[in-house]
Amino acid sequence: MVMRLIALCLGLSSLLWGAGRQLEAYFIDVEGGQATLLIAPSGESMLIDTGWPGFDSRDAKRIAKAAEHAGVKQIDYLLVTHFHVDHAGGVPQLAALLPIRNFIDHGESVERDAAGEKLYKSYMAVRARGHHIEAAPGTVLPIRGVRAEIVTAGGRHIEQPLPGAGQPNPFCAATKLRDVDPSENAQSVGTVFTFGRFRMVDLGDLTWNKEYDLMCPKNRLGQADVYVVTHHGMNLSGTPAVVAGLHPRVAVMDNGATKGGTAEAWDAMHHTAGLQDIWQLHFAQAGGSQHNAPETYIANLRATPDAGDWIHLTAFEDGSFRVENGRNGFTKTYPAR
């Protein structure tokens, strides 16, 4: 009788845990850089980039604050999309506040000027304390409870489409190629996160031609519920092949007040069929009211200095999700489709 009761309790506990499973993401304001904290249903954490160095450890402290809010005591996986100061510069300062167990990157930096060397060496000094995973297209990261698959890394992309993808992309014709980008942006680690029927795509700062190569002539990624806007909404990225090809319901833009959020990139998203909302970390000053989301959907407005408010996403296995503005508590739920 006792054993049957224990079994019943364990079964009920498992059922309740399964019913409440969710994937969380905090899009943290690092003033036009990137820092996205994900918490898998298993409780494991992944941080995508760390923002800037300096500013009295401003960005590291903001990441630590979000981690505390989420109940995260360590970063299980730190994914560095590429070696630019607004993405990898904050690694040493963050490591002073939170333990980092695993480091994921595309390999050596391609930028070998003095600033690039200094940034890369400071990152490597911290990476040496943990376990290193070199990202390659097709790598599935070992974070439990969510499928995190690398689709771009080191200037290369997956050749075989993801399950359900591979159809001709009608938006390739509207994407005209530009000059080749030799910078670290083109080396960005891009990831597709799949949790049940929910999908989110983050391509780091991948630039125009590399986006085209990934999505043309066939759409290798398929559709997404949430599109983390490539390159902070700068007009160096955000091809029609990606923005319209992914057919997202929601876009989240890691822009700053004076960085990213260009009118061209904003318009391209705003006019994409099926896109319901654009959520922004900042009001983009250059865009004016015509090229910004309604203030309800913007985490940080015109105040200087701003409060560093985040955008918080919670996704469920049935494909539904909700997004909350940390500044005003405004929350919108998107039902499964």
Q: What does the domain layout of the chain look like in residue ranges?
A: 20-334
DSSP structure class, residue 150: E
Supply the pLDDT for residue 302.
79
Q: What percent of the chain has pLDDT over 90?
A: 90
User: Which overall architecture, per CATH, does domain 20-334 show?
Assistant: 4-Layer Sandwich (3.60)
Tokens encoding 195: 């949790």
Supply the pLDDT for residue 286.
87
Supply the pLDDT for residue 20.
59
Phi, psi of 185 (to 5 degrees): -55, -45
Given strand 311-315, what is the order of strands in its sheet?
Answer: 131-134, 100-105, 75-79, 45-48, 36-39, 23-27, 311-315, 321-325, 331-334
Cβ atoms within 10 Å, residue 46: 23
- Mean pLDDT by runs of 10 across the 337 residues of the chain is 39 40 97 97 98 97 98 98 98 98 98 96 98 98 97 98 96 94 98 98 98 98 98 95 97 96 93 96 92 96 83 98 97 96
Supply the pLDDT for residue 337.
87
Model confidence, pTM:
0.93
Q: Compute the mean pLDDT over every residue in the chain, rounded to the nearest whole number.
A: 93
